[in-house]
Structure 1
């Protein structure tokens, strides 16, 4: 690589633009630390956009006595719902029950514990239900006559990452995407990173502290920076999902129990679809090229078909996605590996903090604990702040997170629809769900559909693409159609080619 053409000096260099890296960048920048985050691909390009899209305590982790993890996640569930009510919302789950499964008494005890481990203000308690007279019973086979219902939350995982990066940027952080760390070397009391970013000729970053939040590549990055090998801490587990046409009309999700002890969710998705997942399989391949295999598709279809009246066949699958979860290796079976995390500091010279494990629901708490370590090392005395701050677009009724923003979101949307009555109502709903109050930035100085610019592909106007490029680091058609939105699910396959051609014909200058 040629000599870098640019140099950046910072307090903290973060390697990895998934949820942990973006969350740490946000917290650190909000405490006045100068931050550079670099991601080799797009934000949330890998594990953090391949989750089951849930903000949850993890009901099944109670079975493995992970009480502290579940309690921590339950507390965070409500913190996050208040902070970003546009990309998260409460979701009711139905668990059908029949003979041969975990006993009803055990499930009742688990649900009682789930209800009481942490304070609840937003979500109702669990309950036993009669599926013969409940809307969730109609799509199920008749042998499922009773069940249980409980509440958790849904999240647009990729947008959660982007919103954390946006908040970090607005607080002074430098966010570099398509920027791969080639070398990471201790130099005196700090670090020197050489970053390959072709659009600007390469960058040298001088940092006092490094955070290794590279997800599946954490052990590899640690080995690049130090003689140490962190591979022993990580267990790579592949989780795959399938998407089929909508299988039920109500708004509840399902949690299905399998004979092998695993559970699978069936979740209303993108209005017209049902999301089914996930699998848990140890993974040894290239994390850059992870994909579902035929065995996983068959497994998910077979399990769903054991519950639904209408069978699910591989031919029904309209989309799939897979991700590699970098879990903390505790020696358990893949389905039971802990979702807790470990923060490990190598201070043999300039410090580097490596993140092992974690889950989306506890990302904010992980970030807070990580930045406490960083702040102590760098003598930064700014206190914790993220538990009481909205993410960009989440300030529906003011800067402080509020229950009203979650419980009154639909009313807020109706008011926004009235304000932008010149736009199709469903388009306004999509905008409010994606951007929250930032819809007003997106539509600034627009008063008619003609002001939106060309409709590049159905439902996607120039004004939105310009917003995503300017504020959200969107560079490619895939960034826009599959991570910043899920429009790709609703459009013909050639839409991606059309959009990419438009982006190429209308270049922008990017950092």
Structure 2
């Protein structure tokens, strides 16, 4: 049974003298691995140089999906693994992960209908489905799903996948890791990891100063920087080469535009270059369109990724092939880009590079090292489970897996709704329960808080019995009580952490309103690990 009580920070702090495992990287893979290891009873420290999910893990298309297009590249094992994980994740966090139906308008010039039907049949049957409905054909001419489209698209298909708040997924894994005894350090850079026969001696630059730790094993989950970490930070005991794999860094960019349709389904569009893009309902008022696949020429990353003008034009052009109302540059209200660290498999086309992961271990001649190469957000839990199994073997202490049936923080709704039924129905029941218990919460605010925090909502609102009890409204719908919670319990250090990762409120605010949140952080009295 999950326990969503607040973790005791003192009791959960990992010893600075002796760790079992040091995990480098606070994206979804690093946070997931730290959670799994801590849940098996090992002493774990997670070090992230920036904010949790600051890079790739907050820049995804925000889908929990098998990857329909990967079937064309015969990635059946990857698709099956991802499809199996969809329903595991839907049950684990029904507040931040929810079912989403997709509409695929049929364009005979792209792929014949029989090929699409076969692909969808495989998609429906490669793994067992209990929550998500299967695929079906659809007439678009008289359907609400056809109205936003050009008249030439008369037939199509619908199928199921899932939507996830990707950055919050990372935070929930870090919270669960901490509740099980791990220490989570953000804004903390591992500057040196020296290997010897018995362990790793690491130096970490934290906001509080330099810290030295010793770990029996090291996990390199640095994402796009995994190869660079092995070449520049991790020092071998002898002369052996630790970096034996190469990454292909592929940038994926997205645009957010004014809302293009009123219904709750998403679209998947086939492009003449044989790629696909998605158009997804986003934040109520917008449509999210993406992604691109642009290979980066340099192996090193000097800073955050940004969308190029050519990528904006590409996404606008491809979406406009389908939507009756063209998508233009002037419609773009926000954009973001992330770098996917894909394992180099010698594919010529970046879109064809495998999204599967490889866990590479080094144990000869020194303490164990595990490096994570590649991966996708949908399979993070399975990746973490496999990584924990390997670490256990390397340490000679194999311990039982546990995450498949576990719930993430906020995902255990039983205290609000009783026995769970279906994840989507359970969340609707949670909303009704919140409205009954806290009728003073405005419906829009209750929905947003429930989506973000699930059963932990009362950790945010505390003992308030009226809106005034949440403190000053720093920006529309954002009160001091929530900001204090995010600082106290979710490692938020600045306005960007709150407005663009732990929420997407920044998309709804003016520059002055975003500045008001920044001013609050500059003047806050709360203290945390940021300073």
**Which one is further off, 292-301 or 501-510?**
501-510
- How does 1:169-188 map onto structure 2 within 5 Å? 169-188=178-197
Q: Secondary structure at the match of 2:330?
A: helix
Q: Secondary structure at the match of 1:136?
A: coil
User: Is contact 1:50-1:322 (8 Å) kept?
Assistant: yes
Quote how far apart the aligned CAs of 1:409 are.
1.6
- How does 1:275-290 map onto structure 2 within 5 Å? 275-285=288-298, 286=301, 288-290=303-305
Looking at structure 1, the residues matched to 351 and 525 of structure 2 have their Cα atoms a distance apart, in angstroms, of: 45
Match among 76, 85, 91 for residue 76 of structure 1: 85
User: Is contact 2:488-2:527 (8 Å) kept?
Assistant: no
Tell me if 1:93 matches 2:110: no
Cα 1:346–1:291 change in 2 (3 A) is same
User: Is contact 2:389-2:399 (8 Å) kept?
Assistant: no
Tell me if 1:367 matches 2:375: no
Consecutive unaligned residues of structure 2, counting only runs of 5 or more, are 1-14
Match among 215, 223, 240 for residue 215 of structure 1: 223
Aligned residues: 505
Looking at structure 2, the residues matched to 461 and 437 of structure 1 have their Cα atoms a distance apart, in angstroms, of: 19
Looking at structure 2, the residues matched to 401 and 244 of structure 1 have their Cα atoms a distance apart, in angstroms, of: 39
Quote how far apart the aligned CAs of 1:419 are.
1.4
Cα 1:342–1:403 change in 2 (3 A) is farther
Quote how far apart the aligned CAs of 1:182 are.
0.8
Per-residue deviation, residues 228-251 of structure 1 (Å, max 9, x unmatched): 263743110000000001110000
Looking at structure 2, the residues matched to 372 and 138 of structure 1 have their Cα atoms a distance apart, in angstroms, of: 50
Consecutive unaligned residues of structure 1, counting only runs of 5 or more, are 1-5
The normalised TM-score by structure 1 is 0.96
Which residue in the other structure is 1:3 paired with? none
Cα 1:380–1:327 change in 2 (3 A) is same
Tell me if 1:266 matches 2:284: no
Cα 1:169–1:135 change in 2 (3 A) is same
Match among 298, 316, 325 for residue 301 of structure 1: 316
Per-residue deviation, residues 46-86 of structure 1 (Å, max 9, x unmatched): 00000000000000000000000000000000000000000
User: Is contact 1:47-1:325 (8 Å) kept?
Assistant: yes
**Which one is further off, 424-433 or 499-508?**
499-508
Cα 1:402–1:62 change in 2 (3 A) is farther
Tell me if 1:238 matches 2:251: yes
Which residue in the other structure is 2:333 paired with? 318
Q: Secondary structure at the match of 2:141?
A: helix
Looking at structure 2, the residues matched to 401 and 205 of structure 1 have their Cα atoms a distance apart, in angstroms, of: 44
Match among 311, 316, 328 for residue 343 of structure 2: 328
Tell me if 1:122 matches 2:142: no
Match among 451, 454, 464 for residue 469 of structure 2: 451
User: Is contact 1:241-1:277 (8 Å) kept?
Assistant: yes
Tell me if 1:387 matches 2:396: no
Which residue in the other structure is 2:507 paired with? 489
Looking at structure 1, the residues matched to 39 and 485 of structure 2 have their Cα atoms a distance apart, in angstroms, of: 23
Per-residue deviation, residues 297-332 of structure 1 (Å, max 9, x unmatched): 000000000100000001110000000000111111
Q: Secondary structure at the match of 1:339?
A: coil
User: Is contact 1:267-1:276 (8 Å) kept?
Assistant: yes
Q: Secondary structure at the match of 1:202?
A: strand
Per-residue deviation, residues 162-190 of structure 1 (Å, max 9, x unmatched): 00000000001000000011111014400
Per-residue deviation, residues 331-364 of structure 1 (Å, max 9, x unmatched): 1110111100000011130111000000000000
Quote how far apart the aligned CAs of 1:8 are.
3.9
Looking at structure 2, the residues matched to 398 and 213 of structure 1 have their Cα atoms a distance apart, in angstroms, of: 35
Tell me if 1:499 matches 2:517: yes
Quote how far apart the aligned CAs of 1:398 are.
6.4
Looking at structure 1, the residues matched to 311 and 525 of structure 2 have their Cα atoms a distance apart, in angstroms, of: 40
Which residue in the other structure is 2:68 paired with? 59
**Which one is further off, 281-290 or 481-490?**
281-290
Per-residue deviation, residues 123-159 of structure 1 (Å, max 9, x unmatched): 1110000001211100000000000000000000000
User: Is contact 2:413-2:426 (8 Å) kept?
Assistant: no
Q: Secondary structure at the match of 1:292?
A: coil
Q: Secondary structure at the match of 1:474?
A: coil
Looking at structure 2, the residues matched to 239 and 472 of structure 1 have their Cα atoms a distance apart, in angstroms, of: 27
Q: Secondary structure at the match of 2:422?
A: helix
Q: Secondary structure at the match of 1:322?
A: strand
Looking at structure 2, the residues matched to 218 and 89 of structure 1 have their Cα atoms a distance apart, in angstroms, of: 31
Cα 1:278–1:231 change in 2 (3 A) is farther
Looking at structure 2, the residues matched to 473 and 325 of structure 1 have their Cα atoms a distance apart, in angstroms, of: 24
User: Is contact 1:124-1:150 (8 Å) kept?
Assistant: yes
Looking at structure 1, the residues matched to 73 and 60 of structure 2 have their Cα atoms a distance apart, in angstroms, of: 21
**Which one is further off, 501-510 or 305-314?**
501-510
